[in-house]
Structure 1
Amino acid sequence: MPPWASWTYADGPPGLILPEEAENVVSGSAGKARTWSSEDWDFRIVLAGKPLTRMNEVPDIPEGLRALYGEGVDDRTLADNVVRLLVYAPVTSETRAAAYRLLASLPGMSAAGRVTDVLGRSGECLEYASAEYPVSRYAGQTRTRLVIDPATGMPLSIETRTAPDGRLLEYTAIRESVWTDDNPLKESK
């Protein structure tokens, strides 16, 4: 591992609720490659009970998406669900457009303009206060950023950042999203 790929915090990584549980070493190196198969993923959380075999039933208008998740869902939870739909589910371009229109209509959602994502790609950014807690157990307020490729409308990354100073806490970056019948990480004989 190159010397710049990990670093040590004398008092533990910043932002953890319980710094005594941290090992004080943060690694920026790539982990072991892994994949998951769509039949292993529970899309019910993301799609309100619609399995992949029924993706054609996911609405392609903002009002339909709001109804899919339920009228009683608060705006922050609705934003989280719609962002997960965009990032993790194979939706049509019409559904993606409806999801962006729905997100734009939600209170607290803001267009943050052009940003660079964690992989150095330029994209347009939507930002909001998530209803979810970050995995890093940061105790303060956070903002979720969805970075979108303006040419294709595809999500580039979803990032959780500290609200006061925008420090990156966690992220998922999408390099490629494709359908396949084969496991791309399986060794071929």
Structure 2
Amino acid sequence: MDERNGHPADELDAVRAVFSRPGPSPEAVAAGRDRLLAEAAAVPIAPPERPGRRPAAGTRTPEDAVASGRWPGRRDPAGSRVRRWAPAGRGLAGVAAAAALALAMTLPSDAPIRLAPDQAGTAPATPGSDRPDARQILLAAASATAGEPAGGAYWRTRVVTGQRILSPDRRYVIARRSTRETWLTRQDGRQDRWAGRYLGAGPATPRDEAAWRAAGSPGTWRYPADVTGLGRVTPEALVEAAPGEPRSGPHRVGWRDADGILTKQLTGWKALGTIPDDPARLRAYLVARIARENGAYVGREMEAELRKTCLEIISRLPVSPELRAAAYRILASLPGMTAEGQVTDPLGRTGQALTYQVVEDGRLSDRRLVIDPASGLPLAEETSSAATLAGGQDTQVGSFVAFEAIGWTDEEPMH
């Protein structure tokens, strides 16, 4: 008996067979829900697992309850096949798995699966809804990403970045975008490469366009030295409406990101291989790195830094699927994230949204992470904060990074 993503193949085939059946009647749905609740009430729920602590015998964790299910899928960028998320449980044995399978058999084929209750401090789903909460989404993403390819000739990342900024006169909002692709390799005879293009800028909404026309329809905007409250724009920057020419060349800084903890330094391939992929050991490793870099944070400050660093691992570092899955599991253990349901990201793709808040430059900023539950990979990271136009109207400024491609490939750079 072979295994797929750590689950016996015959068990997965059984779940797929269940999902292929036509939807049951409303009476069957109600009866199945009653049986599920009766089964679940008879089994105690374990508290969240902590490093070095295992649940007591006879209890079940939220992960044990996720034996089968379906998520609203999205189209794969390379085609039109809709993928289902991988099971996140530990097999179909036991009461919890039997209850989950009973639910799968009684729910209509297009109904979302309501998973185990939240146990980790992340904000729960709205009472009475079938929408999964933040912990459940993150644990499902951990399971799904574990099945991604573990190696290739290049680590490729293609992103679209964007900003919403106030015009220098604060009369309207400008949206601008750029694209960038990097190909990183550790193989001899190959070279890291990059390519990118500035995609242009213009009024963000029809209301902003009207204010822009009233201002003379400028094609460039020169910013002052003080850009406080204008959004993420460099002091004295010149922002142009026209797109730039495509550019490319050798890439010499690896995955460096001055805003990161792990990515702030020019970490080498060998150092990446020493990062533990066990969630408990990874958390201890990250806490030590954060404390060494920024001081011994406590409470929510450390939790915020852990979240930020886990997102670095998931979206920016060429690491193993197991390490990305461990980062997702740490995120699932942290409080402060709220599931917002299915949304559309800045590139028009659908995914599951998780929101949280951070303090940035002394101001409270809203963040949103959009995840593709089919693959467990991030679609976009977005930030927004309040701003005020010259006429006193409230508006929003912010930025986003949308991931068009992320992962290992054997394809050669096209540039």
Structure 1 and Structure 2 fold alike (TM over 0.5): yes
* Residue 354 (structure 2) pairs with residue 158 (structure 1): no
Aligned residue for 1:112?
340
- Quick one: structure 1 residues 182 and 152, their matched pair in 2 at CA, closer, same or farther if it must change by over 3 Å? closer
- Quick one: structure 1 residues 23 and 37, their matched pair in 2 at CA, closer, same or farther if it must change by over 3 Å? closer
Q: Distance in 2 between matches of 1:34 and 1:131?
A: 35
Aligned-pair distance for 1:77?
Answer: 1.3
Aligned-pair distance for 1:180?
Answer: 6.0
Instruction: Note the alpha carbon deviations across 1:30-73, whole angstroms, 9 max, x for none.
Output: 88455774753337832697533333332223222221212544
One of 141, 155, 163 as aligned partner of 2:364: 141
Q: Distance in 2 between matches of 1:94 and 1:166?
A: 41
Report the 3-state secondary structure (helix = DSSP H, G, I; strand = E; otherwise coil) of the residue aligned with 1:45: coil
One of 17, 21, 38 as aligned partner of 2:228: 17
* Residue 352 (structure 2) pairs with residue 124 (structure 1): yes
Report the 3-state secondary structure (helix = DSSP H, G, I; strand = E; otherwise coil) of the residue aligned with 2:340: strand
- Quick one: structure 1 residues 95 and 38, their matched pair in 2 at CA, closer, same or farther if it must change by over 3 Å? farther
* Residue 401 (structure 2) pairs with residue 172 (structure 1): yes
Q: Is the contact between residue 48 and residue 69 of structure 1 (CA under 8 Å) also seen in structure 2?
A: no
Task: Tell which deviates more after alignment, 117-126 or 72-81.
Answer: 72-81
| Counterpart code for 1:122 | T
- Quick one: structure 1 residues 182 and 123, their matched pair in 2 at CA, closer, same or farther if it must change by over 3 Å? closer
- Quick one: structure 1 residues 24 and 56, their matched pair in 2 at CA, closer, same or farther if it must change by over 3 Å? closer
* Residue 288 (structure 2) pairs with residue 60 (structure 1): no
One of 32, 37, 46 as aligned partner of 2:262: 46
| Counterpart code for 1:146 | L
Aligned-pair distance for 1:100?
Answer: 1.4
Q: Is the contact between residue 386 and residue 397 of structure 2 (CA under 8 Å) also seen in structure 1?
A: no
Aligned residue for 1:99?
327
Task: Tell which deviates more after alignment, 148-157 or 31-40.
Answer: 31-40
Q: Is the contact between residue 278 and residue 326 of structure 2 (CA under 8 Å) also seen in structure 1?
A: yes
Aligned-pair distance for 1:183?
Answer: 7.5
Instruction: Note the alpha carbon deviations across 1:63-96, whole angstroms, 9 max, x for none.
Output: 2222121254411111111112211112222222
Aligned residue for 2:286?
69
Task: Tell which deviates more after alignment, 78-87 or 92-101.
Answer: 92-101
TM-score of the pair, normalised by structure 2: 0.35
Q: Distance in 2 between matches of 1:46 and 1:144?
A: 20
Task: Tell which deviates more after alignment, 155-164 or 59-68.
Answer: 155-164
| Counterpart code for 1:172 | V
TM-score of the pair, normalised by structure 1: 0.68
Q: Is the contact between residue 114 and residue 122 of structure 1 (CA under 8 Å) also seen in structure 2?
A: yes
- Quick one: structure 1 residues 48 and 169, their matched pair in 2 at CA, closer, same or farther if it must change by over 3 Å? closer
Q: Distance in 1 between matches of 2:239 and 2:407?
A: 34
Task: Tell which deviates more after alignment, 65-74 or 88-97.
Answer: 65-74
Q: Is the contact between residue 344 and residue 350 of structure 2 (CA under 8 Å) also seen in structure 1?
A: yes
Q: Distance in 1 between matches of 2:249 and 2:377?
A: 20
Aligned-pair distance for 1:167?
Answer: 4.4
Aligned residue for 1:136?
none
Residue segments in structure 1 that go unaligned for 5+ positions in a row: 134-138
Higher relative contact order (CA 8 A, sep 6+): 2
Q: In the comparison of the two structures, how many residue pairs are matched?
A: 175
Q: Which has the larger radius of gyration?
A: 2
Q: Distance in 1 between matches of 2:249 and 2:355?
A: 28
Residue segments in structure 2 that go unaligned for 5+ positions in a row: 1-199, 204-208, 216-220, 222-226, 289-295, 388-393
Q: Distance in 1 between matches of 2:279 and 2:384?
A: 27
Report the 3-state secondary structure (helix = DSSP H, G, I; strand = E; otherwise coil) of the residue aligned with 1:123: strand
Q: Distance in 2 between matches of 1:80 and 1:166?
A: 26
